[in-house]
Structure 1
Amino acid sequence: MARRTRRPLWLKLLLAVLIVAPLGVAAWLYLDMREWRPEERAFPEQGVDLSGVDGTINFEVLKGNGADFVYLPATSGEGEQSGDFTRNLAAARKAGLKVGAVHRFDPCVPADGQSANFVTIVPRDANLLPPAIELSDTGENCLEPITSGQVRSELTILANQIEAHAGKPAILKVTRDFEAAHGVAGRIERNLWLVRTRFEPDYGGRPWLLWTANESYHGPGSEAPLGWVVVRP
């Protein structure tokens, strides 16, 4: 019968450290990222993006936690509207936050119906921040195939129509996947809003104006994680 060799204590301790240490680092990184945001010394103006956020929002708490502005989801495509937009707009302003509206672009439908959807819910108000157009749906599931040229053409029409209503240039909130699919950043001259947690994004090919620096920020004021956004100084 083979004789078992007992491991020395130092080896057991070393193995335990090798197993436990990575788990501890992973746990620390997870907890740190939940509440991480860039330092205010580097980015004095910071805010939140509530696109895709469900649940109760306490705008006064967000303001007290360092948010200067908030972007609210308003419309999507040619038919979807946020039922909370008007109420959240009033509540955010009451809390002292600057407010902007976000339209989620649908590459499968014409621009005219999308801009009509936007103007029916977003007021013509000079005090609103520049409107943002979210570009995340690449159009892979459109009933009829679309080209990048068609996407850029309809997007340009939509931006012009929304700008005519808002009275100020729109911001393009471009995801990495959308940019890779359609290359809008270098072809449509609008300010960019890019997204990348923790590390500054560069996929736009030119300087951004807004950066979602933490896509899943957990902090006071919201039951659900939200996007923490900074402005280029």
Structure 2
Amino acid sequence: MSVRTARRPRTALWTTAAAVTVLVLLGMLVANGVVWPNRILAARYDVRGVDVAHYQGEIDWDVLAAQDLDFAWIKATEGASHTDPRFAANWADAMKTDLLVGAYHFMSFESPGADQAAHLASEVPATAGTLPPVIDLEFYGDYFDDHPTPDQVHAILDPLVAGIEEHYGAAPIVYATGEAYDLYLADRYPALPIWIRSVAWAPRLSDGRDWTVWQYSNRDRLPGYDGVEPYIDMNVFAGTREELAALALD
């Protein structure tokens, strides 16, 4: 075997090893929230915000609001009876900042939509100037593997939407993962603004619909909170701050 032919497989081996090492390092940086490709894509949108729950622990809203943020949606309720233990404090303190503030409800597949709407209404005041409530539609628990049928979800979602519209005088925004959107929202509910989760690439809804809010990262870190969850969700709005404010309750 000549020297020249011996070098070729050795060079290819080192090249492959180097490429694998780079990919592993990049994967670790992404996993730890150091590198996030979507941040580049989301940077073209000027209106940024967060969504939070009790997992972020006690939040210093003055510090958090100073991080070039425009809005925050705060978890309020889940299902027909659960209230986020940090909601009242988060709501009161966030309202003292210049952020546009709204509440979100985590939709359960196990209780009637009308009961869930009533629970949300009992916990979240219909305050003029606050952002419309959000329905968080995503899988949880065993439902990751065993999805509810569209008919089952619509039987809950329809009265939930109607109850929110009646109580708050505004259509809710619906947050969904891409899979949940395709199963339950595509080509339906044309009057509802969509908040889409897409943390790996820029969102493109399967039915060609425009999104209103995009959750582009679930692994950011910002000063101002200290909970069991070290990361915070980051979002952008497809418009100006004035256009977002125009969605607020009357």
Q: Deviation at 1:129?
A: 0.1
Larger Rg: 1
Q: Deviation at 1:207?
A: 0.8
- Give the one of 217, 220, 223 matched to 1:217: 220
Secondary structure of the structure 1 residue equivalent to 2:95? helix
Counterparts of 1:56 and 1:175, CA distance in 2 = 27
Whether 1:68 aligns to 2:70 is yes
Instruction: Tell me the TM-score normalised to structure 2 length.
Output: 0.76
Counterparts of 1:106 and 1:120, CA distance in 2 = 17
Q: Deviation at 1:56?
A: 2.2
Write the letter of the residue equivalent to 2:109: P
Whether 1:184 aligns to 2:190 is no
Whether 1:33 aligns to 2:43 is no
Give aligned-pair identity as a percent.
26
Write the letter of the residue equivalent to 1:53: Y
> Which residue does the alignment assign to 2:57?
55
> Which residue does the alignment assign to 1:125?
127
Is this contact kept in 2: 1:53–1:225, CA < 8 A? no
Counterparts of 2:58 and 2:198, CA distance in 1 = 25
Instruction: Tell me the TM-score normalised to structure 1 length.
Output: 0.81
> Which residue does the alignment assign to 2:3?
none
Counterparts of 1:178 and 1:132, CA distance in 2 = 15
> Which residue does the alignment assign to 2:236?
230
Is this contact kept in 1: 2:42–2:236, CA < 8 A? no
Cα distance per residue 1:156-212 (max 9 Å; x no partner): 11111112222211101011232344x223212211010011421224521100000
Is this contact kept in 1: 2:205–2:211, CA < 8 A? no
**Equivalent runs, 1:164-203 vs 2, <5 Å:** 164-181=166-183, 183-189=184-190, 190-203=192-205
Secondary structure of the structure 2 residue equivalent to 1:153? helix
Is this contact kept in 2: 1:131–1:171, CA < 8 A? yes
Write the letter of the residue equivalent to 1:163: E
Aligned CA-pair RMSD:
3.0
Is this contact kept in 2: 1:124–1:165, CA < 8 A? yes
Secondary structure of the structure 1 residue equivalent to 2:235? strand
Is this contact kept in 2: 1:186–1:204, CA < 8 A? no
Is this contact kept in 1: 2:53–2:86, CA < 8 A? no
CA change 1:38–1:220 in 2 (3 A) is farther
Cα distance per residue 1:108-142 (max 9 Å; x no partner): 2211211111011100112110110000137965x
CA change 1:150–1:113 in 2 (3 A) is same
Unaligned residue ranges in structure 1 (runs of 5+): 1-6
Unaligned residue ranges in structure 2 (runs of 5+): 1-5, 240-250
Counterparts of 2:149 and 2:18, CA distance in 1 = 54
